[in-house]
Structure 1
Amino acid sequence: MLDDPWFYAIAVPTVILIGISKGGVAGGLGMLGVPLLSLRIPPLEAAAVLLPLLIVMDIHGVWEYRRDFDRRNILQMVPGAVVGTVIAAATAHIVTDDQVKLMVGLISVVFTLNAWFSIVGRFVRTRQDKAREQDGLRTGLGGGLFWGAIAGYTSFLAHAGAPPVQVHLLPQRLPTRTYVATTVVFFFFTNAIKVPPYLMLGTLDRSTLLTSLVLAPLAPIGMKIGFWTVKAIPVELFYRISWILVFIIGLKLMLDGLGLRLF
């Protein structure tokens, strides 16, 4: 078990923040966990410490949102996540943390700008066009598989799978609870899929598991805050906040990937 007091000074608020994120408020904040813990321990060790905690949070989240998730999106995206996880496990020894951060950051920033400013005109449409687009996105198996695979890949390497999922789901304008529930259920499966490869690669060991156990009681605290906030925030405000946070987090990851660490 890790015994560095400065690690725990960072880990305690980080786990609570991830819990709030997992509870449904701006899921992208959860991917700050590895960068924050990496201030004191190596990134792969940070990912290993967080994985059991994420699974505990996922179980709480699935129970809370068990009746609300969009089954079609889950059926489309989870098979992609399996493919992405397998590819990530096979290439983990040659892909650097900075390369993953750069890829995730670029995806986040480009698609947020597209949503805001209609760079390719996709979001400048009538309400009827948007409704038809939503139907197309919801039934688009290719899109679900693709973004699920990207999410599985980046999630395996850095617990940074939220932006690809948000890129796929946010344009669909699902009801708030449906959107949150779908992300929660998706990451429940994605994180469970990661356990065998993490064990085979040796990133999950006795030390990291004991550290996770010490931090585990903090997970429900953050999640309760997240559950409450989802019920309190209006839909339009929820999506506005989500896009802003996706952009900020994506920009930070992109700069980190380029070696320009501002904070």
Structure 2
Amino acid sequence: MITDPLFYLCAIPAVLLYGIAKGGFGGNIAILSVPLMSLVISPQIAAAILLPILCAMDLIALRTFRGRWDKANLRIIVPASLVGVVLGALTFRVLNEAHIQVMIGAIALLFVLSIWLRRDNPPPKGVSPVRGSFWGMVSGFTSFGIHAGGPPINIYLLPQRMEKTVLMGTIAVFFMVVNLAKVPGYIYLGQFTTSNLLTSLVLLPLAPIGVRMGFWMLQKTNEQVIYKLCYIFLFFTGGKLLYEGVQALMTG
């Protein structure tokens, strides 16, 4: 088990941030958790420690939203995400993490800028098997290695302008399936060491605290504000991923 106090100084806010995101408030802030923990440990170990905690958070979020999700979307994006998870597991040892960061960062930035620079106010988009399958697969793929599945699935779901709890409930169900599907791959790749699992256990009590905080903040916030925050977090998330990916490629 990790005993370094500096690690917990980074890990505790990282876990709480992820919980707040799982509770429905600004889902893309979760992308900060792995980099925050990576200040003191490797990103791979950080991802392995977080995964069991994320699975627990998903179960809490599922109970919190209690059936408030969009089944039509889930029938499309969930199967596609499983394909992405398998691809992520198969390429985990050979794929450069920086390339994933650049790809997702650039897509997220271009998507948000296209929304902000658009002069008209387009009607909400509907459910799309083609777009949903593509972004669901991309989300599963990027989620496997660096827990960065939020931006791709938000690119598909946000333009539909669902009611805020339905949107967050749909995301909660989606990532519950994705995270559980990642577990066999992490076991196979030897990511769940005794030290990692014991550290996850120590941090686990923070899971319900973070989720409840996020759900409380969601209930107290106007729906338009939630969507604006989602786009803002998506923009900064994309910028962060793009910057880190380009920096890694230049120095590597």
What's the TM-score once normalised by structure 1's chain length? 0.92
**How far apart in 1 are the matches of 2:31 and 2:121?**
32
Match of 2:181 among 164, 186, 193: 193
- Deviation track 1:167-216 (CA, whole Å, cap 9, x = no partner) reads 00000000000000000110000000000000000011211111000000
- Structure 1 contact 78–186 (Cα < 8 Å) conserved: yes
C-alpha deviation, 1:33, in angstroms: 1.2
- Structure 1 contact 68–178 (Cα < 8 Å) conserved: yes
- Deviation track 1:84-106 (CA, whole Å, cap 9, x = no partner) reads 11111111111122222112211
- Deviation track 1:55-77 (CA, whole Å, cap 9, x = no partner) reads 01000000111210001111100
Q: 1:155-170 residue pairs with structure 2 within 5 A? A: 155-170=143-158
- Structure 2 contact 7–37 (Cα < 8 Å) conserved: yes
Q: 1:22-101 residue pairs with structure 2 within 5 A? A: 22-101=22-101
Indicate the RMSD between aligned Cα atoms, in angstroms: 1.4
- Structure 1 gaps of 5+ residues are none
- Structure 1 contact 105–252 (Cα < 8 Å) conserved: yes
**How far apart in 1 are the matches of 2:193 and 2:136?**
28
Match of 2:137 among 149, 152, 176: 149
**How far apart in 1 are the matches of 2:120 and 2:156?**
18
- Structure 2 gaps of 5+ residues are none
Q: 1:1-263 residue pairs with structure 2 within 5 A? A: 1-118=1-118, 124-125=120-121, 130-131=123-124, 134-135=125-126, 138=127, 140-259=128-247
C-alpha deviation, 1:79, in angstroms: 0.8
- Deviation track 1:9-59 (CA, whole Å, cap 9, x = no partner) reads 100111111111110011111121111111111111110000001001000
- Structure 1 contact 55–192 (Cα < 8 Å) conserved: yes
Residue 149 of structure 1 aligns with an amino acid whose one-letter code is: M
C-alpha deviation, 1:124, in angstroms: 2.8
- Structure 1 contact 100–157 (Cα < 8 Å) conserved: no
C-alpha deviation, 1:221, in angstroms: 1.0
Q: Helix, strand or coil for the counterpart of 1:48? A: helix
C-alpha deviation, 1:125, in angstroms: 4.9
% identity of equivalent residues = 41
What's the TM-score once normalised by structure 2's chain length? 0.95
User: Deviating runs (4+, > 4 A) in structure 1?
Assistant: none
C-alpha deviation, 1:256, in angstroms: 0.5
- Structure 2 contact 48–192 (Cα < 8 Å) conserved: yes
Residue 5 of structure 1 aligns with an amino acid whose one-letter code is: P
**How far apart in 2 are the matches of 1:18 and 1:208?**
18
**How far apart in 2 are the matches of 1:49 and 1:176?**
30
**How far apart in 1 are the matches of 2:170 and 2:246?**
32
